[in-house]
Amino acid sequence: MSLHLPDGKTLAVSIGADFDAHSVWMGTFGLSSPSYLSRGEFGAEVGVPRLLSLFERYGITTTWCTPAHTMITFTERFESILAGGHEIAAHGCWHEPVPKLEGDQERRLMEKTLELHDKYVGKRPRGYRSPAWDFTDETLSLLEEFGFEWDSSLMGRDFEPYHPKPVTVGWEEGSSFGPASPILEFPVSWFLDDFPVAEYIPGVNQGLGSSEVMFQRFKDHFDYAYRNVPGGVLAITVHPQTIGRAHHMIGFEKLIDYMSSFPGTWFAPLSDIYDTWGED
Ligand SMILES: [Zn+2]
């Protein structure tokens, strides 16, 4: 099984825009004071229009992984993304810390999330990206049960989609793998994410890293994949509240311009890439 990209295309590029707004501060970091919330608000009010305008100029449609909390809190901005023809993927209810969820909380939040997708998107999401990219032992089977087709949260490959296998951890006897899930995994990496590099969170994350270094790293991944992994997929993750800052927008446009200059580059939403997956 492999991807069968459109004629003339050799590398799929997914720019996943994770529109977390307030919820990443609340759900992942437990921070809900006015300054942190205003950073999320910047993403909605400034970052989203900047990204939509950039994507429109380059004719890029992409996947916006959006917590339900953002749809409710910044409905107008969220609707502008839908109007741009982009895909919406599930990204939690309020950016909940999935590995810490207990009992039936994970199932309940998944049900609530899907209910809110029905209301605000008008349909169920085909894909899931876990908030902060981690699972419980139940997440994979929940995704299967709720009819998801793909996930983009794990890191077992870099440029090749794969069917993840649940792991039973063993210590002295080694760990063992269960049967492969029907869910198709589009692997992610913290190296291909703007948030850890850039976001200063006192006492938690140093952030404030070099924009040039970050985009050079993204570009190196692109160059390597383009040369060495034909038929692969490069999944880059950006956040409107992070990449939407002026200096990052300059670097991001240069990167998009560079990747666009290669005829084999195919920018697409993850579900469009998923639809090319099939028998060799
Ligand atoms: Zn997120």
10 Å CB burial of residue 102 (0-12, 13-18, 19+) is: exposed
Distance in Å, CA 263 to ligand 1 centroid: 31
Check pLDDT > 90 for residue 279. Answer: no
Distance in Å, CA 239 to ligand 1 centroid: 8
SS3 annotation, the chain: CEECCCCCCCEEEEEEEECCCCHHHHHHCCCCCHHHHHHHHHHHHHHHHHHHHHHHHCCCCCEEEECHHHHHHCHHHHHHHHHCCCEEEECCCCCCCHHHCCCCHHHHHHHHHHHHHHHHCCCCCCEECCHHHCCCCCHHHHHHHCCCCEECCCCCCCCCCECCCCEECCCCCCCEECCCCCCEECCCCHHHEHHHHHCCECCCECCCCCHHHHHHHHHHHHHHHHHHCCCEEEEEEECHHHHCCHHHHHHHHHHHHHHHCCCCEEECCHHHHHCCEECC
Distance in Å, CA 58 to ligand 1 centroid: 24
Cα gap 176→60, rounded to integer Å: 41
Distance in Å, CA 18 to ligand 1 centroid: 5
Distance in Å, CA 95 to ligand 1 centroid: 6
Please give the average per-residue pLDDT across 254-279, as a whole number.
97
Q: For residue range 245-265, list pLDDT tens digits in order.
A: 999 999 999 999 999 999 999
Cα gap 127→268, rounded to integer Å: 14
pTM for the complete prediction? Answer: 0.97
Q: For residue range 123-133, list pLDDT tens digits in order.
A: 999 999 999 99
Distance in Å, CA 53 to ligand 1 centroid: 21
Q: For residue range 21-44, list pLDDT tens digits in order.
A: 999 999 999 999 999 999 999 999
Residue ranges with CB less than 5 Å from ion ligand 1: 18, 20
Q: For residue range 199-225, list pLDDT tens digits in order.
A: 999 999 999 999 999 999 999 999 999
Q: For residue range 140-170, list pLDDT tens digits in order.
A: 999 999 999 999 999 999 999 999 999 999 9
Average pLDDT for the chain: 97
Please give the average per-residue pLDDT across 74-78, as a whole number.
98
User: 2-278 adopts what CATH topology?
Assistant: TIM Barrel (3.20.20)
Q: For residue range 83-123, list pLDDT tens digits in order.
A: 999 999 999 999 999 999 999 999 999 999 999 999 999 99
Distance in Å, CA 91 to ligand 1 centroid: 7
Distance in Å, CA 20 to ligand 1 centroid: 5
Please give the average per-residue pLDDT across 35-60, as a whole number.
98
Distance in Å, CA 141 to ligand 1 centroid: 21
Distance in Å, CA 19 to ligand 1 centroid: 7
Check pLDDT > 90 for residue 280. Answer: no
